[in-house]
């Protein structure tokens, strides 16, 4: 029957509730076990958080509720709480002898459904079943609303009081199971709540890892890095390296730079960050009934979790843990996204709220022109050489880009040193970038949402052909696309050229929008500080910013910080082709300029009018900006180079 209550119970719910207790104190563990047994619950004890997680994962649906102490030696109770919420979606109760408001608040913030103070009393434990019941009810409601069927509840209602709860619970469980596995009804209209069971989450993590592996890098960060490797014939070639981190991107860049040098092409360096997209994950997961939205929201949670991990692991959150030599973030880590707003001209409000959300910046690349196809999708780091902080080492103004913008980048790979501080993705986003007039872009920019600079469809696609619209601009003053903060959720970015810019922006979801495909998942900039991928922003900024003054704002940096980037190490080619995600983007003229509805976009003067101001629409695809994120956009990171004219 229902798989909810596996053990036969003679009593009605809540007897037999399966509780997992986690506490490093053996005395308390013993006491709690006894107390819970007295409540007729089924108790399993565990003194290590890791063991608890293993148990939870091993026994799918084996527990109804978890009670955990806050202070544990091997793992912070809050972390465990998050994990359980992510993977198993079970109600978790926190316990501690410390009842300070801040602690309790932290517990609630991390998703605890209750916070008990030690010493715990029997009566408190007797009532824990309510959390289980409440969750079930909510799920059933979701299911019901989704399926619109009253059936699920009928039985419950018809049963006698004693059985009602049980029956209802059973139904709930059944429904839940059903929902999980059989729900393939594409009733997109209704959002059925997906329960992220252990298996499902494992599939999710595997998919993410897969993407990371494809990137030749272990995922720790769910961000793609977009690098503009070079510009050839006015086309900037970018690589979007999924699951890369800045450092790896850098490596990638340097790898490619050799190729480029061989081909007598001056490499640039642009770092764009994007994220692993839900679409790709969804594809890899191969779960038919799961929607991209489900994955996106789960990805968001996961990112949050990872970022927290990172923050804890690295005092300075430089790019997701990558410490680049010259990492000079203005803002100390921990600030997601654009924080710094110092450089950002505009607003900042948005900046602060960046978080990263599965945005992806897809820069589509301009594939064909890439040399040797390897470069496809090569994302090069554009040194922000610029006036402001040279992002990457010092990038001498390349000849190519007259303006420069791109982050100063340009071209010289050599100038990019490992210690380029990508980190500073503070790429100086040239604020001053002024988009060289790409009218079309501008128009597009007008759209409310700021386009993501990179759009690409799909990162999921294998080496992208050069986006038609994308022109590679020499890194000239690439108009920086400053995201306007006006991006609101769901705003679609106006396609830069003809392409629609990111498609709907889901609040908090960063899904790749875009007609092109999934890919560009722009960070959904959420005004309410949901996370926006700073990276995305960075990337975008990078792409856009090109004018000389690229100053990447701190935001960029911040973004980088907060963005966990996965830099794809290794050969660019490998990157490129191996991942569908790697895409070369050629950003077209950063035409994003003020025209773009982005509020925060400040376009510095673009020197280079050559730059194609139009970003290929797919660049914008998936750009979802929340206003907040637009700040990123300010950075004309994607400058010229990025834009493929």
Query: Would you tell me which residues interact with other proteins (CB under 8 A)?
Result: 24-28, 30-31, 34-35, 38, 69, 71, 96-98, 118-119, 121-122
Least spacing, CB of residue 116 vs other proteins, in Å: 12
Least spacing, CB of residue 10 vs other proteins, in Å: 18
**Pick 25 or 293: Cβ nearer other proteins:** 25
* CA–CA distances in Å: residue 579 to residues 71, 247, 376, 428: 41, 18, 10, 29
Least spacing, CB of residue 56 vs other proteins, in Å: 24
CB 391 within 8 A of CB 409: yes
Give the single-character DSSP code of 86.
Answer: I
The phi and psi torsions of 639 (rounded to 5 degrees) equal -110, -170
Sheet of 235-241, strands arranged across: 235-241, 223-232, 272-275
**Pick 24 or 419: Cβ nearer other proteins:** 24
Least spacing, CB of residue 517 vs other proteins, in Å: 50
* CA–CA distances in Å: residue 447 to residues 229, 499, 517: 29, 12, 19
**Pick 72 or 246: Cβ nearer other proteins:** 72
What are the b/e assignments for 390-415, b being 16+ CB within 10 Å?
A: bbbbbbbbbebbbbbbbbbbbbbbeb
- Could you tell me which residues are beta bridge partners of residue 225? 241, 273
Least spacing, CB of residue 44 vs other proteins, in Å: 17
**Pick 50 or 121: Cβ nearer other proteins:** 121
Least spacing, CB of residue 15 vs other proteins, in Å: 16
**Pick 31 or 213: Cβ nearer other proteins:** 31
**Pick 27 or 286: Cβ nearer other proteins:** 27
* CA–CA distances in Å: residue 180 to residues 60, 191, 242, 330: 13, 13, 28, 45
**Pick 34 or 138: Cβ nearer other proteins:** 34
Least spacing, CB of residue 274 vs other proteins, in Å: 39
Sheet of 114-117, strands arranged across: 42-46, 18-22, 65-69, 92-96, 114-117
232's enclosing H/E stretch is: strand 223-232
Q: CA–CA separation, 532 vs 628, rounded Å? A: 8
- DSSP 3-state of 644: strand
Question: Cis before residue 14, ω within 30 degrees of 0?
Answer: yes
**Pick 97 or 108: Cβ nearer other proteins:** 97
Least spacing, CB of residue 23 vs other proteins, in Å: 9
Least spacing, CB of residue 17 vs other proteins, in Å: 18
* CA–CA distances in Å: residue 392 to residues 70, 154, 422, 643: 42, 65, 5, 19
**Pick 15 or 31: Cβ nearer other proteins:** 31
| Six token digits for residue 179 | 């929902």
Q: Compute the Cα dihedral for 76, 81, 86, 88 and give only its sign.
A: positive
């Amino acid at each position: 029957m229902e798989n909810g209550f596996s053990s036969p119970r003679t009593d009605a719910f809540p007897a037999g509730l399966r509780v997992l207790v986690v506490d490093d104190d053996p005395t308390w563990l013993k006491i709690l076990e006894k107390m819970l047994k007295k409540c007729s619950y089924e108790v399993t004890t565990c003194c290590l958080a890791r063991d608890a997680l293993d148990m939870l994962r091993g026994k799918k649906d084996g527990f109804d509720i978890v009670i955990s102490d806050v202070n544990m030696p091997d793992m912070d109770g809050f972390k465990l709480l998050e994990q359980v919420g992510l993977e198993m979606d079970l109600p978790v109760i926190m316990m501690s002898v410390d009842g300070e408001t801040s602690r309790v608040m932290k517990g609630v913030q991390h998703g605890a459904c209750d916070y008990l103070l030690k010493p715990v009393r029997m009566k408190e434990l007797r009532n824990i079943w309510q959390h289980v019941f409440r969750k079930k009810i909510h799920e059933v409601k979701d299911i019901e609303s989704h399926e619109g069927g009253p059936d699920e509840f009928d039985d419950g209602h018809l049963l006698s009081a004693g059985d009602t709860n049980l029956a209802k619970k059973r139904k709930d469980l059944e429904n839940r199971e059903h929902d999980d596995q059989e729900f393939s009804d594409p009733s997109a209209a209704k959002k059925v709540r997906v329960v992220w069971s252990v298996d499902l989450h494992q599939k999710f993590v595997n998919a993410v890892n897969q993407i990371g592996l494809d990137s030749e890098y272990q995922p720790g960060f769910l961000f793609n890095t977009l690098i503009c490797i070079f510009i050839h014939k006015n086309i900037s070639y970018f690589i979007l390296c999924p699951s890369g981190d800045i450092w790896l991107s850098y490596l990638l860049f340097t790898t490619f730079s050799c190729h480029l040098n061989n081909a007598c092409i001056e490499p640039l360096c642009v770092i764009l960050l994007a994220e692993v997209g839900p679409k790709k994950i969804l594809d890899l997961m191969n779960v038919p009934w799961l929607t991209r939205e489900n994955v996106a929201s789960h990805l968001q949670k996961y990112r949050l979790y990872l970022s927290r991990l990172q923050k804890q692991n690295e005092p300075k959150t430089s790019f997701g843990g990558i410490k680049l030599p010259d990492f000079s973030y203005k803002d100390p880590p921990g600030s997601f996204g654009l924080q710094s707003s110092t450089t950002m001209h505009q607003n900042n409000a948005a900046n602060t709220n960046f978080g990263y959300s599965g945005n992806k910046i897809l820069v589509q690349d301009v594939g064909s022109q890439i040399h040797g196809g390897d470069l496809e999708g090569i994302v090069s780091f554009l040194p922000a050489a610029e006036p402001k902080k040279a992002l990457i080492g010092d990038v001498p103004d390349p000849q190519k880009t007259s303006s420069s913008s791109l982050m100063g980048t340009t071209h010289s790979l050599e100038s990019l040193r490992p210690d380029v501080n990508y980190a500073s993705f503070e790429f100086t986003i040239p604020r001053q970038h002024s988009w060289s007039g790409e009218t079309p872009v501008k128009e597009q920019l007008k759209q409310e949402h700021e386009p993501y600079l990179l759009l690409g469809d799909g990162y999921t696609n294998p080496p992208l052909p050069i986006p038609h619209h994308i022109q590679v601009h020499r890194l000239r003053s690439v108009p920086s696309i400053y995201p306007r903060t006006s991006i609101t959720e769901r705003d679609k970015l106006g396609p830069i050229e003809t392409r629609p810019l990111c498609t709907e922006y889901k609040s908090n979801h960063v899904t790749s929008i875009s007609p092109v495909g999934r890919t560009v998942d722009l960070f959904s900039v959420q005004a309410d500080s949901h996370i926006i991928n700073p990276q995305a922003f960075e990337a975008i900024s990078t792409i856009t910013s090109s004018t000389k003054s690229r100053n990447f704002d701190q935001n960029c940096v911040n973004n980088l910080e907060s963005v966990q980037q996965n830099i794809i190490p290794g050969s660019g080619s490998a990157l490129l082709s191996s991942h569908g995600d790697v895409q070369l983007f050629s950003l077209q003229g950063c035409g994003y300029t003020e025209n773009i509805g982005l509020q925060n976009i400040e376009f510095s003067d673009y020197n280079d009018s050559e730059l194609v101001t139009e970003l290929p629409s797919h660049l914008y695809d998936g750009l979802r900006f929340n206003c907040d994120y637009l700040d990123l956009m300010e950075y004309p990171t994607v400058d010229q180079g990025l834009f493929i004219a």
